[in-house]
Amino acid sequence: MTDRSARLPTEAEIAAINARHLISTPLKPADLLFVFGTRVDVEERVDQAFRLWRDGYFRCAIVSGGITPGSDRSECEIIADAMIARGIPRERILREDRAMNTGENVIFSLPVIDAALGLTNIRSVICLGNTWTARRYPMTLHRHWPEVEKMLVTVDSFATPRSLWHTDCEFRRRILAEWDKIEPYKVKGFIAEWPVR
């Protein structure tokens, strides 16, 4: 079987991805920042979390991510410690350090959020993650926690502008790999349509 993420997308597919996957949402202060774990572009994610904190966009954050092969520290520990080093108060950061994928990020984090803050006290969440994964973060959150308003902020370290993702070989590969997961994941019930049309 060929790797579909290595393909060159058509103009129609580029337009669809730009319109439906690489979405940006209006940003307003939220009750919670949900930082999805990663092994790549950690510094960019931490910088963005700090900017959102500094500018008053969240009161509390949860960082989720387990230990990945080749590391003895969880993604959660690495990212949360870096957020604290940047100036976000330790007591404002909840931690979930077992998740190995986006679904587990949400499933394992909800009890942590509930115990610390109460899920019913959270009305809005900003999802923070990789550009190429894009709306799959809030789609996963929407599948398990439909009640909250969701916003999306994404980061990456590509020099290529986001609108030209298809012109950069690695950026294109990452986005196509994620785009190709959307429909199968919806069918399997891993994610739910978001934003709801």
Mean pLDDT per 10-residue interval, the chain, length 197 residues? 81 95 95 96 97 98 95 96 98 97 97 98 98 96 97 97 96 96 96 87
Say how far apart CA 32 and CA 92 lie, in whole Å. 10
Phi-psi category of 89—alpha, beta or left, where left has phi over 0 and alpha has psi -120 to 50? beta
Look at residue 5 in the predicted model and tell me its pLDDT. Answer: 83
Say how far apart CA 43 and CA 49 lie, in whole Å. 10
Say how far apart CA 21 and CA 55 lie, in whole Å. 26
Look at residue 75 in the predicted model and tell me its pLDDT. Answer: 97
Look at residue 44 in the predicted model and tell me its pLDDT. Answer: 97
For 73, 164, 188, the CA distances from 23, given in Å and listed in that order, are 32, 14, 23
Look at residue 24 in the predicted model and tell me its pLDDT. Answer: 87
- Please give the domain boundaries of the chain with CATH numbers for all domains: 29-188 (3.40.50.620)
Angle of CA points 183, 187, 189, to nearest 5°: 115
Entry pTM = 0.95
